[in-house]
Structures are given as structure tokens and as C-alpha cells.
Amino acid sequence: MSFILQGIGVSGGIAIGHAHLAAPAALEVIHYLVPKNQIKREIARLEMAFAVVRKEFESLQKSVADGHARAEFSAFLDLHLMILDDPMLSEAASSMITQTNCNAEWALTQQAQVLLAQFEEIEDAYLRERKADVMQVVERVLKAMMGHPGYLPIASKHTGDSILVAHDLSPADVMQYKQHQFVAFLTDLGSQTSHTAIVARSLNIPSIVALHHAHQLILEDDCLIVDGTQGIIIVNPDKYVLDEYRLRQGQLELEKKKLQRLRSVTAVTLDGTPVDLYANIELPEDIEQVKHSGATGIGLFRSEFLFMNRDDLPDEEEQFEAYRIVAVKMHKQPVVIRTFDLGADKNIRGSTQVAANPALGLRAIRLSLAEPKMFHAQLRAILRASKFGDVRILVPMLSNVAEIDQTLHLIEYAKQTLRDDKLHFDEHIKVGGMIEIPAAALSLDIFMRKLDFLSIGTNDLIQYTLAVDRIDDTVAHLYDPLHPAILWLVSHIIQSANRAQVPVSICGEMAGDMQFTRLLLGFGLQQFSMYPAQLLTVKNQVLKSHLPDILPLVQKIIKTDQPEKLAALLARLND
């Protein structure tokens, strides 16, 4: 049966392929092939996880026997031990690894599905309810396995035309999928500027989030058309629709190829205003794409991704090497390294988010200042890399003068330790601040006095100004870059910085959205940083823009508070 689902397109383009379903929400795990010579190790990893959980249960049972826990807890533990010892789970998962070369997490969750299906058939309502216990036991084993990560996935059997359909993916999950050959990503949850969407976008494949029931409605191997621009999936399309989309896909490819001609063209408006178009990256490997995009610098290196998907923290040496490689490969073009913006939805493995409102909690610079040793290692690494190119430091989520002063003080201290160690660095390294909290936007003077440059993080600025959680799809309709308050704040920051002659850029998703290019040029912006795949489209728009023509319309837009009128004016501006 053919049907259509609508979500929020977060990365444009058309993909045609076959669905590959990730396991259901609570048991969502990554699937990859393990090389033959690692199979034994993979089975040992699974067995070790079972042993760890068994030990946990046994010690809990002992505490019941010692009278430290309530007696009914004992029956519950017996049941969990029974599930744990069920050969359907452990033995069948081991055989599956041997037979299909899959990773242990995948084998375990697949067997859990078989077991759950059997519970579903049971007539006794009480026993049927025990499905939740199976899930809990499996989750516990999965957690134990996370402490013993397996072979890093290098290839999936789903190559060529597989489309990943998941209920939800964390930014860390998507990072892992960077090494796979999926042609599109679909998730039930998510929103336009969630970090998951940002990473998906950087993969340069069509992605749609907020599809709500896609994971339930789509079956493994269903044929899918994914239109990332419109946010639409067509499931099991008929031949005519397939032909139509293949044609459109071909046209898009052609347009992309044409845009490639602009790669080495200087970005300048028709009236001669030069514009810097920089790239956002997550890892040094992204430089390939940056080169392809013709970016003239890195405007945002989200360094926190170096800290994710691993059990340890990258030390100074490892970070130095990552930053040095980027600096060298960019050949003296600017490389803006943002100090780690961990917390909220980007966490290091094993950290347990306990805050009720993590986006308002210990995140970004707040976490850095609370973890001075970790911050010091990063600052030294960035400073040492500054010897190899035009490296700059960018500090995320600053909200007050005390944070600026403390950060500058710690940078100075890191410099001093390097001098003591006789290690070289750029003594005049530029330090900038992200303006992503309304309080910072409204007290710009102090930021401009103390910092060398500003970078507007519109993703968070919108989230915090409109009080809309950027990762919650239930309020995604309220996340509005064209809200009059946002337009006022963004233009205020740009114009204030321009007046004070402090360089200012935008590195949030607004910078890469072509419908805002002229609006931002009209606000006076001359530095944009975005995901590389979008850069040539924005450059094309810059090349076709004439500032004196734009300004009157931009003035009108900023004074308009009627959404329909504003949309019409924006359409005229982009005509």
C-alpha cells in the first residue's frame, strides 16, 4: 500500500531507497557488521555484559536476604534472573552474531523482539504485562555493554540505497552513522535545529524529523522516496511517482553540479560588498567537505564532538593533533574553534543528565568553568595549534561579565603554562564570544569591550528568546526565526557590532538558509558560517544581491509584526 508521511525536512534533496528500521525507541541501537576475526571478541563482549548484570542481580538478592530491601523485591529479582538466563536471549543472540556477523547490541535487541512477540501471544494478562520486565533486563545488559564498547563500525550491510528509519537518534548516534552509507535519515522525533538535525545535515543527505509514526508505519525494506526539501516521504510509491522523482533527483544533481562552478568565485554582492562564507564542522574529517564547498574558513568547529562516542576524554595531545590538522589543512584561513559545548543534548558517554531543564543547566562555558582541568587541557591544545594557522577561540553560551573575565583569566593562565613549558603559540590569538542568550544580546557593550569578535548562535538565541525547546517537536511550530523579537535582536547585534567595528558572524542555522541570506545582508552581516553542503547555494544568492535594492525592503520587514505580511515581503526580497 502506498501512503505519504509529512515531517520537518532538515536536510534537502531527494533520496530513493529501501527502509532500514532501527530497533524500537527504548532499545534503539546501532547496527553494523563485525569483521570475521572479531566475532569471538564480540560474543565475549555480550557474555561479559550478561555476567555483569547477573552479578548485579545476585548482589541485590543478597541485600534482600540481609534484610536491606523489601521482600517482594526478591520475587521481582527472581523473574529478572529468569529472563536473563533464558536461552532465547543470550544463546540465540550469540548464534545470531556468528551467523550474521552483526554487533552484539543488535543481536540482543533482535532476540528481545522475538521474546517480546512471544509474550504478546500469552493469554494471561499478568504474564503479558511482563514484557516491561524483558525490556528492563535487556536495557540493563545494553548498558553493561556500553562500558565495553565493541568494534567501531566501519561498514554496514545496508549499503547503496538504505534509508535509516528511527524513532529518535541522539547527536552521538548520528555521528556514528557518519561512517555508514545511508542515503537518508528519518526520525519520529526531533526538530529543525536540534543537534541531531544539525549533524544529519552535515552528512549531506536528505533528512526528515518529526514524522511521529514513521517507525511504526514503515516496514523493513519498504521502498521509500524521501523529499528532504518538502519534508515528505512516499512509502511504496507506484511506478509513475517513482519515475517523476527520479527525474527530479536527476535535475537536482545537475543543479548541484552547476553550483560547483562557483566554488572558487569570490563571494561579493553586485554592488561590491565582500562577504565571508565559512563552514561549520564537527570533526577534522569534515575538512574534505569544506574543501569541496569552497569555504574560505571554518567559522565554527564544534569541538565537543571530539568528546562524544567514547569512554574516556580526549587529552591535550589528542586534541592538539585534531586542531593542528584542521589549522594546517586550512592554510592560514581562519579556523574558529569553539570550546566544548557539552551538556543539554550533547553528552559524554556515561554522564547522567539529572537536570530538569538541561538546556538551562550546566552546559557549555558553565560546564567548562566547573571543570577547570578539562577546560585547561582544551585551552592548551587550541593555543598550541594556533602556531599552525589562523586559529581563534570561541566561547559558547556566555551570559555575564564574570564568565567572560574568568574565561579570559583561564586563557591567560593556559598561555603562561605554555610559556613555562617553552611551547609556542600565537600570543595574540583572538578570543570571541557566542551571542546566544538574550541577556548577552541586550548587554552587548561589555561583550564588545572585552572580546575580539562575536558569533551569533541563532539556534540557541531563538530557543532562549522564545522559550521553545529546540529539540522538542511538540513545540517546533513555535520555533520561529522570523518572530519580530528575533529579527530585532539579530539586527541589533549586527548593527551594534558594525558600529563598534567588532567583527560579527552568524554560525547558527539561519546563516545556511538561503531564504534569510538577503535579510541578513540587509542587516549588515558580512560573515556567514554554515554546514558546507549549503555554502554554494548561499554564495549564489550573495552574488545575485544588490544591497541598495535590498535595504528598503529589509527596513519594512523589521517594522512588520504581521506574519502574513512579513512572509509576503520576504518573498519579494528573495525574488
Q: How far is the CB of 508 from ligand PEP (least distance, A)?
A: 3
Examine residue 345 and tell whether it contacts ligand PEP (CB under 6 A): no
Which three cell numbers mark 297?
Answer: 574558513
Q: How far is the CB of 457 from ligand PEP (least distance, A)?
A: 3
Task: Give, for 527, the enclosing helix (H) or strand (E).
Answer: strand 527-530
Residue 302 interacting partner from Mg ion, ligand PEP, none (CB closer than 5 to 8 Å by kind): ligand PEP
Among 222, 227, 341, 513, binds ligand PEP (CB under 6 A): 341
Interface size with ligand PEP, residues (CB under 6 A): 11
**Environment class of 219 (CB within 10 Å of its CB; exposed 0-12, middle 13-18, buried 19+):** exposed
- DSSP per residue, 96-129: HHHHH-B-HHHHHHHHHHHHHHHHHH-S-HHHHT
Residues 497-516, mask of contacts with ligand PEP (x by CB under 6 A): ----------xx--------
Taking the C-alpha atoms of residue 365 and residue 552, their distance in angstroms, rounded to an integer, is 39
Taking the C-alpha atoms of residue 12 and residue 413, their distance in angstroms, rounded to an integer, is 45
Residues 417-446, mask of contacts with Mg ion (x by CB under 5 A): -------------------x----------
C-beta of 90 vs 458, nearer to ligand PEP: 458
Residue range at the interface with Mg ion (CB under 5 A); choices 216-224, 225-233, 408-416, 458-466: 458-466
**Site of grid cell 526580497:** 573
Is the separation of the CB atoms in 469 and 194 below 8 Å? no
Whether 195 is a known active-site residue: answer: yes
Examine residue 231 and tell whether it contacts ligand PEP (CB under 6 A): no
- Relative orientation angle of helices 39-65 and 104-121, to the nearest 10 degrees: 60
| Inter-residue long-range contacts of 442-447, CB under 8 Å, 24+ positions, other chains counted | 443/400, 444/492, 444/493, 444/496, 444/497, 445/496, 446/401, 446/404, 447/398, 447/404
Of the candidates 76, 9, 84, 78, the one whose C-alpha atom is nearest the C-alpha of residue 47 is: 84
- Give the three-class secondary structure for 525: coil
**Amino acid identity for residue 91 in this structure:** E
**Out of 158, 167, 215, 507, which one is annotated catalytic?**
507
**Out of 195, 215, 292, 409, which one is annotated catalytic?**
195
Taking the C-alpha atoms of residue 471 and residue 82, their distance in angstroms, rounded to an integer, is 38
Of the candidates 336, 333, 428, the one whose C-alpha atom is nearest the C-alpha of residue 382 is: 336
Q: How far is the CB of 276 from ligand PEP (least distance, A)?
A: 16
Work out the number of other CB atoms within 10 angstroms of the CB of residue 409. 10
Residue 23 interacting partner from Mg ion, ligand PEP, none (CB closer than 5 to 8 Å by kind): none
Is the separation of the CB atoms in 435 and 455 below 8 Å? yes
Residues 183-222, mask of contacts with ligand PEP (x by CB under 6 A): ---------------x------------------------
Question: Could you tell me how far CA 89 lies from the centroid of its own chain?
Answer: 33
Examine residue 513 and tell whether it contacts Mg ion (CB under 5 A): no
Is the separation of the CB atoms in 217 and 165 below 8 Å? no
Question: Could you tell me how far CA 312 lies from the centroid of its own chain?
Answer: 20
Write down the H helix ranges in 261-400: 287-293, 316-329, 365-370, 372-385
Among 206, 343, 457, 524, binds Mg ion (CB under 5 A): 457
Examine residue 460 and tell whether it contacts ligand PEP (CB under 6 A): yes
Residue range at the interface with ligand PEP (CB under 6 A); choices 11-19, 37-45, 329-337, 456-464: 456-464
Among 191, 192, 386, 458, binds ligand PEP (CB under 6 A): 458
Residue 458 interacting partner from ligand PEP, Mg ion, none (CB closer than 5 to 8 Å by kind): ligand PEP
C-beta of 300 vs 348, nearer to ligand PEP: 300
Among 222, 227, 403, 436, binds ligand PEP (CB under 6 A): 436
Q: How far is the CB of 341 from ligand PEP (least distance, A)?
A: 5
Whether 507 is a known active-site residue: answer: yes
Residue 168 interacting partner from Mg ion, ligand PEP, none (CB closer than 5 to 8 Å by kind): none
Q: How far is the CB of 490 from ligand PEP (least distance, A)?
A: 11
Question: Could you tell me how far CA 427 lies from the centroid of its own chain?
Answer: 33
DSSP percent split of the chain into helix, strand, coil, nearest 5: 55, 15, 35
Q: How far is the CB of 28 from Mg ion (least distance, A)?
A: 25
- For ligand PEP, the binding residues in 300-329 under the rule CB under 6 A are 300, 302
What letter does residue 297 receive in the DSSP assignment? S
Q: How far is the CB of 94 from ligand PEP (least distance, A)?
A: 40
* Residues of the shown chain interacting with Mg ion in the complex, contacts defined by CB under 5 A: 436, 457, 460
**What positions carry a catalytic annotation?**
195, 507
* Residues of the shown chain interacting with ligand PEP in the complex, contacts defined by CB under 6 A: 198, 300, 302, 341, 436, 457-460, 507-508
